[in-house]
Amino acid sequence: MREFYYLNHSPITSVHFSKNSSDFTVFELPLYEFSGSGEHLIMHIRKKDLTTWQMLSDLSKHSGVNIREFGYAGLKDKDGMTTQYISVNAKFEKKFEDFLHPKIKILSFARHENKIKTGHLKGNRFFIRLKKVLEIDALKLEEALTKVANEGFPNFFGSQRFGAKGDNFDLANEILEGIRVEKNRKKRDLYLSAFQSTLFNEWLYRRVEISKLANEFNKKELSKIFNEEMADELLGQKTFFKLLSGDVAHHYPHGRSFLVEDLKNESERFFKKEIVPTGLMPGKKSVFATTLANEIEDQFFSKSFPYLDYFSGSRRFAWTFLEDLEFKYIKEKAWFEFSFSLQKGSYATVLLSQVLKTKI
């Protein structure tokens, strides 16, 4: 996967980052408070160096509860320490009271009326510790993080989306073309999701590249690269990422999607973090961009059009923001520690790649 680093500082190469349970922590932020009553048991669980599927498998083996009975809001990183909320029918509560595992701990129990489903989370809070950080690089980190906190960053899918070998897109192509039959539904869905995600990343790479050109070139130069109409649309916007007429934007962080028609007004709202542009996750229910934005969208997503019935379809934030940023430099240990929250679906490793200007 290509990445485009939009920040202007030189790469920060002296640091050491390891996704272990001491230096990388993820705390799931629930979408709502649990009511305290109902037929579903909510377990707040901490795991270390296990995927969510591995954790669920171990819970299933211990309790005898079929793995399909568990509800979860999202898949968490294997490496590091993560917490998340899992639901199961409350009739199984006693089966988990004596649960012991070296890498899994049930932190608390609660009750709720509904099962937790995919997407039922507000976001995640992250803690990252970088080691072997020179003092000059600590200053770069502070500057970069502050800039990202103010301006946001491109919402690429992280490399973990594409499989350990990076071949999920190729496997999805084989399924779509009828070359491969994948009977495991979860694997099939994973591969097809990687197909959508790859196209999204390639599209976003191009849009960030266009935005960078708009920040560096004048109208005459941009008109030679694109055309005069597009040059006019790009220039004069305050944000790094440039909107185009016909983009599909979304109220941030919650609300509805809509087509960008009044470019001047919507670019100002984007600058105020009231809305964000979105990219296509192709499918039969997708909302497509129009006019200039659609011309670029089609360049990257047209290969998905024969297969739209395979996917539900949606839009994804193309640009996102970190919240509640805190950081400190511990000079005597050469550690740089920072914590922040992201909306669901955004990757801390993508943020870190942007800040360090190197692939994580």
**Catalytic annotation, pick one of 23, 77, 137, 247:** 77
Find out whether 147 and 71 touch, Cβ atoms under 8 Å.
no
Among 3.30.2340.10, 3.40.50.300, 3.40.50.10860, 3.30.530.20, name the CATH number for the domain at 155-320: 3.30.2340.10
Between CA 272 and CA 312 the distance in angstroms is: 31
**Cα distance between residue 130 and residue 358, in whole Å:** 14
pLDDT at 1: 57
Q: What is the SS3 assignment for 57-115? A: HHHHHHHCCCHHHCEECCCCCCCCEEEEEEEEEHHHHHHHCCCCCCCEEEEEEEEECCC
Each residue's pLDDT expressed in tens, for the chain with a length of 360 residues: 566 788 887 888 789 999 889 999 999 999 989 999 999 999 999 999 999 999 999 999 999 999 999 999 988 988 899 999 999 999 999 999 999 999 999 999 999 999 999 888 999 999 999 999 999 999 999 999 999 999 999 999 998 888 878 889 999 999 999 999 998 887 898 899 999 999 999 999 999 999 999 999 999 999 999 989 899 999 989 999 999 999 999 999 989 999 999 999 999 999 999 999 999 999 999 999 999 999 999 999 999 999 999 999 999 999 999 999 999 999 999 999 999 999 999 999 999 999 998 887
- As a whole number of angstroms, the distance between CA 52 and CA 40 comes to 19
Domain 24-123 has CATH 3.10.129.10: no
Q: Is 77 a catalytic residue?
A: yes
User: Can you tell me whether residue 167 is helix, strand or coil?
Assistant: coil
Read off the tokens for 25.
């922590």
Q: Where are the domains of the chain?
A: 24-123, 155-320
320: helix, strand or coil: strand
Beta bridge partners, 85, equal 44
pTM: 0.91
pLDDT tens track for 192-220: 999 999 999 999 999 999 999 999 999 99
Question: Could you give the residue ranges of the DSSP H alpha helices within 109-227?
Answer: 135-151, 168-176, 185-216, 219-225
